[in-house]
Amino acid sequence: MKYSFKIFSAFGIPVELHVSFLLLMILIYAVAILNLAPGIDLNAALLITLLFVTVVLHELAHSYVAQRYGIGIEKIILLPIGGVSAMEELPEDPGEELRISIAGPMVNFVIALICYGIYFAFAGSGYYPYIFEFLNNFALVNLILGAFNLIPAYPMDGGRVLRAILARRMSYLQATQTAASVGKFLAMFMAVVGIFWNFFLILIALFIYIGADAEYKEIMVSNILEGVKVEDMMTREVKTVKMETTVEEMLKIMLENKHMGYPVVDGQNLSGIITFHDISHAKQGEENKSITEFMSRDLVTVSPSELLIDAMAKLKQTGVGRLPVVENGQLVGIISRTDIMRAMEILKLKKNG
């Protein structure tokens, strides 16, 4: 995610802090130190800080259990609304998803239990009353956080638990659709309540609604493209250019063909990609230079046997519009976002028909 930076790693998982989160914490401490708002003092600021520490533990619990089931975790991102674990894939086994989903809230409940245990065991001793009051508040906050996350509003933990339960009785896609619909309804309810009670609740509702819609679409795409390979949908006739092509010749080719990017080949072997953006770096007087001086050699490619859904993920990660299809070092085709969108429309019609 943009505007986030790594602060540490745990279980081999990078934990990143979003800039908005850092700004929020600076604001909270500034308000506490300068005494600008009633009810926000250093104790409250410390409580909020420790709350986000528990958010990290909450997300690490999800990630640890997911890793136990062989699901890779790209990173954990800390946002003002909580944490997000970026899984490389979603668990399709209902039992696995259920255990992954409840792992986070269970951490909150365990922290609350420990704090309450210490509070009730030593609070009456008369020593350090502020510490025990703090433990009581911290336990209560963790109880609320754990319970809130179990609200069946997909894609929150409770929504994922709901989908896992539904997936035992219906298809994974139907379970996701139902859980997402419940999540959207609860999000709209939260937004209405937020108008009259707390604006922050509106932000959470917006996050839930957008997240539910996005994850349902992702599952729908995975379902439509299941088993489809790159070679089934790739464009086999690819316009290529040779390494000895000059900048001036390249501009003419782009103007004639109305395409802004071309694979550069050495015989049958792919050597690089040249785009209009690359050519724009050429200075006046460099028209006769070879495009090899400006082309990109750092290539992201796919093989014909790769799944189309994996090619789609690569397109999304790299932010490019098309990927060369390479087999044994040779260019055999190209796959673009347009090819994938067209494939989805055709396959959707087939499944509905």
Contact 45, 91 (CB under 8 A): no
- Could you read off the pLDDT of 302-323 as tens digits, one per residue? 899 988 888 888 887 777 777 8
pLDDT for residue 8: 84
- Residue bearing tokens 């770096």: 281
Higher pLDDT, 142 or 121: 142
Q: Can you tell me the distance from the alpha carbon of 82 to that of 45, in angstroms, rounded to the nearest whole number?
A: 16
Weakest mean pLDDT among 7-11, 13-17, 48-52, 287-291: 48-52
Nearest residue to 177 via CA among 187, 168, 167: 167
pLDDT band at 352 (very low <50, low <70, confident <90, very high): low
Q: Which helix (H) or strand (E) holds 340?
A: helix 337-352
pLDDT for residue 317: 75
Active site residues: 59
Look at residue 187 and give its three-state secondary structure. helix
User: What's the mean pLDDT in 33-59?
Assistant: 77
Weakest mean pLDDT among 29-33, 104-108, 189-193, 213-217: 29-33
pLDDT for residue 65: 93
DSSP state of 243: T
pLDDT for residue 163: 92
Q: State the average pLDDT for the chain.
A: 84
**Going from the N-terminus, what domains does the chain have, and what CATH number goes with each?**
4-224 (no CATH), 230-352 (3.10.580.10)
DSSP state of 74: E
- Could you read off the pLDDT of 203-235 as tens digits, one per residue? 888 888 888 888 888 888 888 888 888 888 888
User: What's the mean pLDDT in 319-348?
Assistant: 82
Look at residue 266 and give its three-state secondary structure. strand
Tell me, yes or no, if the pTM score tops 0.85. Answer: no
pLDDT for residue 146: 92
